[in-house]
Amino acid sequence: VLTMSHADAYTARMHWGQPQPETVRDYTIEGRIDGQWHMLEEVRDNYQRLRIHRLSEPPAIDALRITVHSTNGLDHARIAEIRVYE
């Protein structure tokens, strides 16, 4: 997924036709329910910068945990924002 920009220096660093190295590829989302962690989602081979996860039957979660297993090339992961809605 590419980012639109008017800055030539920024777009020159884009990897055209392939996932961007900084994008999180493999990750899991867990929710804490009654003190126990439960797997809610497991994602493999992601290439998108924005992901939306909708739980079909949302349980009463009191905490959320995301574990990044790999990126598409960068040696570290960065998650910029997480939003949770009822």
Is 80 exceeded by the pLDDT of residue 35?
yes
| CA dist., res. 54 & res. 48, Å (int) | 16
- DSSP code at position 77: -
Q: For residue 69, name the pLDDT band (cuts at 50, 70, 90).
A: very high
Average pLDDT across the chain, whole number: 84
pLDDT recorded at residue 1: 46
pLDDT exceeds cutoff 50 at 74: yes
22-44 burial, b at 16+ Cβ within 10 Å, e below that, comes to ebbbebebbbeeeeeeeebeebe
Is it the case that residue 32 has pLDDT exceeding 80? yes
